[in-house]
A = this chain, B = another copy of it.
Amino acid sequence: MPHKNLQRLSIIDIARDAGVSPATVSRAFNRPDLLKADTLQRIKAVADEHGFRPNRVGSSLRSGSTRTLGLVLPTLRNPVFAECFEGAEQYAHAHGYSVMVASTSYAPATEAAAVQSLIDHQVEGLILTVGNPARSSTLRTLTAQGLPYVLAYNESATHPFVSVDNGAAASDMVSLLAARGHRRIAIISGPLTASDRARRRLAGARSQARKLGLDDVAHLPMASHTEADSEQLRALLDAPQAPTALFCSNDLLAASVISRLRGLGLSVPADISVCGFDGMTFAALMVPPLTTIEQPSHDIGARACASLLACLQGETPPSLRLAHRLISGGTVAAATSAAS
| A interface residue numbers (CB < 8 A to B) | 2, 4-6, 51, 53-58, 60-61, 66, 68, 75-77, 79, 82-83, 85-86, 89, 93, 98, 100-103, 116-117, 119-122, 141, 144-146, 252, 255-256, 258-259, 262, 268, 281-282, 284-287, 289
The distance from the CB of A56 to the nearest CB of chain B, in whole angstroms, is 5
- Please judge, given known A-B contacts A53-B116, A100-B98, A287-B262, whether A82 and B89 are in contact too, CB under 8 Å: no
Is B51 a contact of A144 with CB atoms below 8 Å? yes
Residues of B within 8 A of A54 (CB): 120
Can you show 29 pairs from A to B with CB atoms below 8 A apart?
A5-B145, A5-B146, A6-B146, A51-B141, A51-B144, A53-B119, A54-B120, A57-B57, A57-B60, A57-B61, A57-B122, A58-B61, A76-B82, A76-B86, A79-B79, A82-B82, A85-B103, A86-B103, A100-B100, A101-B101, A252-B282, A255-B282, A255-B285, A258-B287, A259-B286, A259-B287, A286-B286, A286-B287, A287-B287
Is B4 a contact of A146 with CB atoms below 8 Å? yes
Distance in angstroms between the alpha carbons of A102 and B286 in the assembled complex: 29
Distance in angstroms between the alpha carbons of A186 and B103 in the assembled complex: 39
Which among A57, A100, A252 has the highest number of chain B CB atoms within 10 Å? A57
The distance from the CB of A318 to the nearest CB of chain B, in whole angstroms, is 24
- The answer, among B6, B56, B76, B284, for a CB contact under 8 Å with A259, is B284
- The answer, among B76, B122, B282, for a CB contact under 8 Å with A55, is B122
The distance from the CB of A81 to the nearest CB of chain B, in whole angstroms, is 9
Is A282 a contact of B282 with CB atoms below 8 Å? yes
- Please judge, given known A-B contacts A61-B57, A119-B53, A121-B56, whether A259 and B285 are in contact too, CB under 8 Å: yes
Distance in angstroms between the alpha carbons of A97 and B53 in the assembled complex: 23
- The answer, among B144, B252, B268, B281, for a CB contact under 8 Å with A4, is B144
Is A83 a contact of B89 with CB atoms below 8 Å? no
Distance in angstroms between the alpha carbons of A59 and B147 in the assembled complex: 21
Residues of B within 8 A of A82 (CB): 75-77, 79, 82
Distance in angstroms between the alpha carbons of A13 and B268 in the assembled complex: 65
Chain B residue nearest to A261 in the complex (CB)? B287
Is A86 a contact of B77 with CB atoms below 8 Å? yes
Residues of B within 8 A of A259 (CB): 284-287, 289
Residues of B within 8 A of A5 (CB): 145-146
Is B281 a contact of A77 with CB atoms below 8 Å? yes
